[in-house]
A and B are shown apart, each in its own frame.
Chain A
Amino acid sequence: MTPLEILSATVLGQPTPRVPIFCNVLDQGARALNMFPEEYYSKGEYVAEGQLKMLKHYGHDNVWSASYVGKEAQLLGCKEILFANNGVPNVADFVLKSWDDIEKFEIPEDITQHYHWQSTDECLKILHQEVGATHPICAYVTAATSLPVILMGMDKWIELVIAGPTDLRDLLVKKCSDFVQQQIAAYRTAGANVIIYANPFATTYFLPKKLIVNWSMPWMQHDLKDGIDNIVFYGGMAPINAVTEMVVDKLNVNIFYPAPEDDLIESKRLIKPGNGLTSGVIDDIKMIHWSQEQIRNEVKRIMDLGKPGGHFLFGTGFMPMAIPEENIIAMFEAAFEYGRHE
């Protein structure tokens, strides 16, 4: 079976030779090409080449479109990204300097014509051509209720959400939600077949449950009004078990990417029977200092919990560049070994 077939069969609960193994080795692709992240992300062809090299090297199941923190901000007018040589980039220029800027803030009419979309498009075209028939191609979309974080900063956004004028807050979210709809459509057209839909502002780590029910969920419905095919709900590494039932019930989304802190047995219990899956995610920050033996043990623990009953995928978080290569290899070897179905 191809990785794409393994993923589809896993969602349907059909027999597969092993658990799907997803990994985010996006930044490691830069190292494989002997590039710093700034150069690597400047062209879609570099990211595609890096991703394909990673796929060949580790043999995992998925690739990623050209994406980094701040890419969405650039599509919405951000002029400066602070790249690092050893990690993920920061947004260095907030599009919305104050709440007063919200009124005149505009989203692009067609993001596919935007300068910053071109590298994404180029990357996806290459990936689609090379592995589109056999491998899941992932794209990352930030939900409308979380997107303002990269437009104005987390603190200003929380202040507006919690204590600011609700009409202004919702005006901004409406604009962001229209952008999210465009982005999902553009990713699908360009060849992405797995959309990681990230919404920390729909998790109880960030907000009270009441606000999630009354505010986040309706906006998520708006974000996803064109369909939930291949949508994966993700809390941006915040735990999601407390909202999973709500997401299933209100959005009908049944594919989840929890945080390492989430109880995996509970994550599995919460998905709706039938089509769907949840993921066992390794705490890859610990992988920086763990021994290879510790990594193998953790992969085994996750697989032992997740495999029974199927509908299960093994995955990673952001995979910091500081993780030693031999630790990444140890993780993959263990994942392929312990992820086999008897």
Chain B
Amino acid sequence: MFESYIEDYNEAVYEIDKESAIEVVERALQEGVTPEQVVFDIIIPSIETMMAEIVINADTNLAQHFMTAQIAAEVTEKMLAKFKVPPEIIGRVVFGSSHGDLHSLGKRIVIGCLKSMMVDVLDLGVNIKAEDFVNAAVEQDAQVIAISSMMVHTATGEEGSSRVRSLLKERNLESKIKLVVGGAPFRFDHELYTKVGADSWAADGVSAAKMIKELILEVKAQ
């Protein structure tokens, strides 16, 4: 029985059918599944399935990634309100688009997935200065700064992640805060993240969430 919820939910997400996905969740709740089970046994595994699918099936597309994240975030938020005990947060990430960059799609995909994976996200918005990333990460005790850039000059510019790296170094924060990047320029040049001082990158928003979660755990394990 429970398997059918997972199967139906995954199918709805894969077909980008938000309405059906929410129907599956509502049906599961009505039939006695707890909100905790919905999040941990349906939503999070579904994101992980999508992550695996991206690796083996190049036919997944941006619309699927975006809607997977949005549906997951929406359902998770609804379920969290119904949890008997608030869930343990894995860690915290400060997120934004780089200085001079007004794009937000990639950021929204990653944030949607992270929220469902019990990662606390502070979304700084778009066109964020390097100093603001670092200050926010320190104030919020975040383990990761994530910077999204859709254009080459905002990905590689002096006011972007290169500057964040310099600030982390100057303030002796490099072991406490990891820096990750993403966006179109990094997809074209897989080594570009090293040139801008980042610790890691991911080719798509869904995989990025997984990579950020691993970095948070790495920092916390120190």
A→B interface (CB under 8 Å): 82, 84, 86-88, 90-92, 153-155, 158-159, 161-163, 204-209, 211, 237, 242, 260, 283, 285-286, 288-289, 317-318, 320-322
Contacts and interface: CB of A to CB of B under 8 A. Distances in A.
A91 B103 CA distance: 9
Interface stretch (B39-47, B59-67, B76-84): B59-67
B188 A84 contact: no
Given A158-B105, A162-B67, A321-B153, A289 B195 contact: yes
Given A155-B108, A158-B105, A286-B188, A86 B157 contact: yes
7 contacts: A82-B100, A87-B100, A90-B151, A205-B62, A285-B152, A285-B189, A321-B153
B66 to A, nearest CB: 5
A88 B151 contact: yes
B168 interface: no
From DSSP, what is the main secondary structure of chain B's interface residues?
Answer: helix
B157 A205 contact: no
Nearest to A239: B58
Task: Report, nearest first, the 8 A-B pairs whose CB atoms are least far apart.
Answer: A87-B153, A320-B152, A285-B188, A154-B105, A155-B105, A90-B102, A285-B189, A86-B153
B102 A82 contact: yes
A155 B64 CA distance: 12
Given A92-B102, A289-B192, A318 B61 contact: no
Q: Dominant SS at the A interface?
A: loop
Contacts of A90: 100-103, 151
Contacts of B192: 285, 288-289
Nearest to B154: A87
Contacts of A155: 66, 104-105, 108
B70 A159 contact: yes
Contacts of B102: 82, 90-92
Interface in B72-119: 100-105, 108
Contact of A204 (B18, B61, B189): B61
Contacts of A242: 59
A289 B152 contact: no
Interface in B147-183: 151-154, 156-157
B185 interface: yes
Interface of B: 16, 18-19, 59, 61-64, 66-67, 70, 100-105, 108, 127, 151-154, 156-157, 184-185, 188-189, 191-192, 195
Contacts of A260: 188
A84 B153 contact: yes
A206 B61 contact: yes
Nearest to A238: B62
Contact of A206 (B62, B108, B195): B62
A288 B194 CA distance: 13
B198 to A, nearest CB: 14
Max count, chain A CB within 10 A of own CB: residue among B101, B151, B157: B151
B180 to A, nearest CB: 19
Contacts of A321: 153
A87 B157 contact: yes
B14 to A, nearest CB: 9
Contact of A318 (B16, B63, B152): B152
Given A82-B100, A163-B19, 17 more contacts: A87-B151, A87-B152, A91-B102, A154-B104, A155-B108, A159-B66, A162-B67, A163-B16, A206-B61, A237-B184, A242-B59, A260-B188, A285-B152, A285-B185, A285-B188, A286-B189, A322-B153
B16 A208 contact: yes
Interface centre among B61, B66, B104 (most CB of A within 10 A): B61
Nearest to B104: A155
Contacts of B189: 283, 285-286, 288-289
Contacts of B188: 237, 260, 283, 285-286, 317
A120 B189 CA distance: 32
Contacts of A283: 188-189
A280 B30 CA distance: 56
Contact of A162 (B63, B104, B127): B63
Contacts of A322: 152-153, 156
A97 to B, nearest CB: 14
A82 B185 CA distance: 19
Nearest to A319: B152
Contacts of B100: 82, 84, 87, 90
**Which one of B16, B62, B127, B185 has the highest number of Cβ atoms from chain A below 10 Å of its Cβ?**
B62
Nearest to A153: B104
Contacts of A208: 16, 61, 63-64
Contacts of B101: 90
A86 B155 CA distance: 11
